[in-house]
Chains A and B, each alone.
Chain A
Amino acid sequence: MTRSGYRRTAGLLLATALGLTASACGTDEAPAGDDAQPAAEGSAAGPVSITVNCMPPKTNKAQRATFQEDLDAFQKLNPNIKITKATDAFPCYEPRTFEAKLAGGQLETVFYVNFPNVGRLMESGQAADITPYVGELKTFKDYNASIDIFKKDGKIYGLPTDGYGMGLVYNRDVFTKAGLDPGTPPRTWAEVQAAAKKIAALGPGYVGFGEYSGNNVGGWHFTASLYGRGGDVLTPDGRKAAFNTPEGRAVLENLKQMRWTDNSMGSKLYIDWPALMKAMAGGKMGMMLGAPDVLIGLRNDFQAKFDNYAVTAMPEAKALFNGGAGYMINPKATPEQIRAGLKWIEYEFLTPGKGQLDYVRAKGAGLTVGQPYPDLYGADTPSGQEVLKLRTENANVDPAQFALWAEGSKGIPPKAEPGPYAQEIYAILDTPMSAVLTRQDADIDQLLADAEAKVNALLEKKG
């Protein structure tokens, strides 16, 4: 470019820029962002605008397509409801952005929440009370006990759409390679330990048992293991820590032995939810704690070879950590928006034969049918029976992948998250988890005592 040409271009750009400033100084300019506000206006008569989240990500093509279909069908069915935006951030609950969006008023009208966060959101008044509206939902009366998670002081703040008990996910292919029988996975922790050792012996890169150790998921899985062993995180009144017990010690001792004595856990730390999922999907990891949904997640979101995986019951389980998720409504939503939002939840997640429970379509779209979840309705209710019937009729997965879990989990009581401060408690429990996985000389008694003191201090402060 010649000198004068350069100057002319620069001049032109600067002129544009000056123009922009001038208009920025004026007061008549409103920034773009028409779809940014979830609490858009909407009156009883006119159309209602809502936003939703948890649209499946682009990497999950089949589910994304069915979700889009549902968005269109739902709006056609309800011409006065307009879904102005469907967010596809993945994972749907992303700890790094959830609070940011909530604080920023960016949270959708209908938002996904996993069980660990439900308590806190109810406690801090960050979800709308939907008690007056649930009567309008046809299947509401058929809910099983999972609805209790969303209840506080007799009011209802959300609807579970997914629920399952914890189990042990394992890779059948890796089991075979290690000379283990994939048909009889471990039933005790001693067997888990022995199997993990054999798998790790397959060579470099193989990990017998993978476990979380950071970003609150470490504490989350500690809780799952502890519940399985019959322990508890908090005392029944929720005022004191209750994990500095033989059960708590056993959880950590077991991990420590696998990590350091058997060297069967690898040396990589899995510090967030997708990290372990990705490793499991990689095909060189033998086992991890997880509910049946992990299998589907591995298939749809992490491109794993689905047939290789199976889930069995949690070893020696005395109680099953109740995993799952649901939807809540933005506290700033208008009554009309709440109604519209609940209608969407009902359509997409709770109506047998529609949305996520449209098993005929799922089968045709190359999605899995037959996994024993979501487990939302009582077994003898009309909805429960209908879902079961549809599911059995259209099943396309190998029932063996879930059979051991379903069989082994029967009659084991479910157990919920440890109170409204679950996330803070998990953050504290990350420390002992990462300690036993990173330090051979980790002092388990000391770690538990420290964590206990910290949790007690936390609970005392929160009153």
Chain B
Amino acid sequence: MRRNITAYGFLCGALICFAFFSWYPMVWEVVLSFQQTNFVDPPIWVGLENFVTVFEDAAFGPAWRNTVMFTVLALVFGYGVPFVVALVLNELRHARAYLRFVVYLPVMLPPAVGVLLFQWFYEPEYGLFNQILGFFRLPALDWLNSTDTALVSLVIVSTWMNLGTGTLIYLAALQTIPGELYEAAELDGAGVLKRIWHVTIPQTKLILLVMLLLQIVATMQVFIEPFLLTGGGPENSTVSVVYLMYQYAFNFGNINGGNALGVMLMIVLMVFSAVYLRVSREDKS
């Protein structure tokens, strides 16, 4: 009994913080998505109306399409590449400290800085990227200013800023693989690629899977890139679900519509998170 009182005394700070800033908002999000309020008068219940409003919004389709596209593209660049980079780094015997340091350097920049830096690099006339293309006599690209390239440009920023995390995690994982496995494979006559395929990948399978899920959950929340770089344009080609949610709440004065979008995103992400939890629990056993 005494122990319980002490324990809850110790827990009280955490309980208060979690209650106010995690548990309560989760519940309230769902409640708000069924209400209408202007913050001056008391809220009224409106059933599914907010969901219908956002569903019928012209930007709803593009927002989900872009978010999924962003996630897929970010996986292509940001999931495979770090693994390959880590594989190569793991083989190198020189300059490792330097390489690990520089690959992680962009991760340490505040995201707002990284994004604004790339905004400057993307300038069509005198930005760094088009200058480099011009130097190699390649045609300039429109980057953020074309429906064809805007989304990819956002993925590039995001990948540049986050590549280091994946690389270092993979690198750590690669170092846990017992060397005997490679030796055995070599004795069986397996070449380098076969060794990667039959030893490295099975040995890091779990972490690869975990990282896959983590990255999906992280990139589906893309916001700062469209918010600072494109405003969702051109022609809604970069509007994301979270960006639309923000627009509803803070530009259209319809916070309830934003909550409806939040509930939808919450459901999608919970599915991925549940899979993730399952996977990481499997690992423990």
Q: Given that A24-B16, A434-B233, A438-B235 are known contacts, is A99 also in contact with B124, CB under 8 Å in the complex?
A: no
B234 part of interface (Cβ distance < 8 Å): yes
Which chain A residues numbered 159 to 192 have a C-beta less than 8 Å away from chain B?
Answer: none
Which chain B residues numbered 38 to 81 have a C-beta less than 8 Å away from chain A?
Answer: 38-41, 53, 56, 58
Taking a contact as CB atoms under 8 Å apart, the answer to whether A438 and B124 are in contact is no
Taking a contact as CB atoms under 8 Å apart, the answer to whether A268 and B231 are in contact is no
Q: How close is A341's CB to chain B, nearest CB, in angstroms?
A: 17
A397 part of interface (Cβ distance < 8 Å): no
Q: How close is B36's CB to chain A, nearest CB, in angstroms?
A: 11
Taking a contact as CB atoms under 8 Å apart, the answer to whether B38 and A213 are in contact is no
Residue numbers in B under 8 Å from A103 (CB-CB): 39, 249-250, 253, 255
Q: Assuming A103-B250, A216-B251, A427-B251, what are 7 further A-B pairs, CB within 8 angstroms?
A: A100-B249, A215-B231, A268-B124, A271-B231, A272-B231, A434-B233, A434-B234
Looking at chain B, what size class is its interface with the partner chain?
Answer: 20 to 34
What are 14 pairs between A and B in contact, CB < 8 Å? A25-B13, A96-B251, A102-B39, A102-B253, A103-B250, A213-B234, A214-B231, A269-B144, A271-B231, A427-B251, A428-B58, A434-B235, A437-B234, A454-B58
Residue numbers in B under 8 Å from A454 (CB-CB): 58
Residue numbers in B under 8 Å from A358 (CB-CB): none
Taking a contact as CB atoms under 8 Å apart, the answer to whether A204 and B125 are in contact is yes
Taking a contact as CB atoms under 8 Å apart, the answer to whether A268 and B123 are in contact is yes
Taking a contact as CB atoms under 8 Å apart, the answer to whether B250 and A461 are in contact is no
A457 part of interface (Cβ distance < 8 Å): yes
B122-144 near A? 1/0 per residue, CB < 8 Å: 01111000000000000010101
Taking a contact as CB atoms under 8 Å apart, the answer to whether A424 and B41 are in contact is no
A430 part of interface (Cβ distance < 8 Å): yes
Which chain A residues numbered 1 to 26 have a C-beta less than 8 Å away from chain B?
Answer: 21, 24-25
Residue numbers in A under 8 Å from B236 (CB-CB): 431
Residue numbers in B under 8 Å from A424 (CB-CB): 252
Q: Which of A97, A205, A439 contacts B250 (CB 8 A)?
A: A97
Q: How close is B233's CB to chain A, nearest CB, in angstroms?
A: 4
Taking a contact as CB atoms under 8 Å apart, the answer to whether A125 and B38 are in contact is yes
Main SS of chain A's interface residues?
helix
Which residue among A214, A423, A454 has the maximum number of chain B CB atoms within 10 Å of its CB? A214
Residue numbers in B under 8 Å from A435 (CB-CB): 147, 234-235
Which chain A residues numbered 421 to 451 have a C-beta less than 8 Å away from chain B?
Answer: 423-424, 427-428, 430-431, 434-435, 437-439
Q: Given that A21-B13, A102-B253, A428-B58 are known contacts, is A126 also in contact with B233, CB under 8 Å in the complex?
A: no
Q: Which of A99, A125, A267, A332 contacts B251 (CB 8 A)?
A: A99
Taking a contact as CB atoms under 8 Å apart, the answer to whether B147 and A439 are in contact is yes
Taking a contact as CB atoms under 8 Å apart, the answer to whether B13 and A24 are in contact is yes
Taking a contact as CB atoms under 8 Å apart, the answer to whether A269 and B145 are in contact is yes
Q: Which of A266, A271, A457 contacts B230 (CB 8 A)?
A: A271
Q: Which of B16, B145, B234 contacts A25 (CB 8 A)?
A: B16
Q: How close is A349's CB to chain B, nearest CB, in angstroms?
A: 25
Q: How close is B112's CB to chain A, nearest CB, in angstroms?
A: 13
Residue numbers in B under 8 Å from A102 (CB-CB): 39, 253
Taking a contact as CB atoms under 8 Å apart, the answer to whether A25 and B12 are in contact is yes
Residue numbers in A under 8 Å from B262 (CB-CB): none
A151 part of interface (Cβ distance < 8 Å): no
For A95, the closest partner residue in chain B by CB is B251
Cα distance, A331 to B41, chains bound together (Å): 11
Instruction: State the 8 A-B residue pairs at the shortest beta-carbon distance, nearest first.
Output: A434-B234, A214-B233, A99-B250, A215-B231, A267-B124, A21-B13, A214-B231, A438-B234
Cα distance, A126 to B40, chains bound together (Å): 7
Residue numbers in B under 8 Å from A96 (CB-CB): 250-251
B232 part of interface (Cβ distance < 8 Å): yes
B146 part of interface (Cβ distance < 8 Å): yes
Taking a contact as CB atoms under 8 Å apart, the answer to whether A438 and B142 are in contact is yes
Q: How close is A178's CB to chain B, nearest CB, in angstroms?
A: 17
A120 part of interface (Cβ distance < 8 Å): yes
A92-124 near B? 1/0 per residue, CB < 8 Å: 000111111011010000000000000010001
Residue numbers in B under 8 Å from A431 (CB-CB): 58, 233, 235-236
B253-275 near A? 1/0 per residue, CB < 8 Å: 10100000000000000000000
Which residue among A96, A218, A434 has the maximum number of chain B CB atoms within 10 Å of its CB? A434
Which chain B residues numbered 128 to 173 have a C-beta less than 8 Å away from chain A?
Answer: 140, 142, 144-147
Taking a contact as CB atoms under 8 Å apart, the answer to whether B234 and A214 are in contact is yes
Residue numbers in A under 8 Å from B126 (CB-CB): 204-205
Taking a contact as CB atoms under 8 Å apart, the answer to whether B251 and A214 are in contact is no
Q: How close is B113's CB to chain A, nearest CB, in angstroms?
A: 18
Q: How close is B171's CB to chain A, nearest CB, in angstroms?
A: 28
Q: How close is B208's CB to chain A, nearest CB, in angstroms?
A: 37
Taking a contact as CB atoms under 8 Å apart, the answer to whether A125 and B40 are in contact is yes
Cα distance, A268 to B234, chains bound together (Å): 11
B222-239 near A? 1/0 per residue, CB < 8 Å: 000000001111111000
Residue numbers in B under 8 Å from A457 (CB-CB): 56
For B9, the closest partner residue in chain A by CB is A25
Residue numbers in A under 8 Å from B249 (CB-CB): 99-100, 103
Cα distance, A442 to B123, chains bound together (Å): 23
Residue numbers in B under 8 Å from A204 (CB-CB): 125-126
Taking a contact as CB atoms under 8 Å apart, the answer to whether B234 and A423 are in contact is no
Which chain A residues numbered 136 to 174 have a C-beta less than 8 Å away from chain B?
Answer: none
Taking a contact as CB atoms under 8 Å apart, the answer to whether A124 and B233 are in contact is no
For A215, the closest partner residue in chain B by CB is B231
Residue numbers in B under 8 Å from A423 (CB-CB): 251-252
Cα distance, A216 to B247, chains bound together (Å): 11
For B229, the closest partner residue in chain A by CB is A271
Cα distance, A96 to B231, chains bound together (Å): 10
Residue numbers in B under 8 Å from A95 (CB-CB): 250-251
Taking a contact as CB atoms under 8 Å apart, the answer to whether A269 and B251 are in contact is no
Q: Given that A100-B250, A438-B146 are known contacts, is A266 also in contact with B56, CB under 8 Å in the complex?
A: no
For B248, the closest partner residue in chain A by CB is A99
Residue numbers in B under 8 Å from A215 (CB-CB): 231, 233
Residue numbers in A under 8 Å from B124 (CB-CB): 266-268
Cα distance, A267 to B230, chains bound together (Å): 14
Taking a contact as CB atoms under 8 Å apart, the answer to whether B38 and A124 are in contact is yes
Q: Which of B41, B144, B252 contacts A125 (CB 8 A)?
A: B41
Cα distance, A433 to B39, chains bound together (Å): 33
Residue numbers in A under 8 Å from B235 (CB-CB): 431, 434-435, 438-439
Cα distance, A125 to B144, chains bound together (Å): 38
Residue numbers in A under 8 Å from B144 (CB-CB): 269
Q: How close is A445's CB to chain B, nearest CB, in angstroms?
A: 16
For A430, the closest partner residue in chain B by CB is B233
Which residue among B12, B126, B140 has the maximum number of chain A CB atoms within 10 Å of its CB? B12
Residue numbers in A under 8 Å from B41 (CB-CB): 125
Q: Given that A96-B250, A124-B38, A204-B125 are known contacts, is A271 also in contact with B53, CB under 8 Å in the complex?
A: no
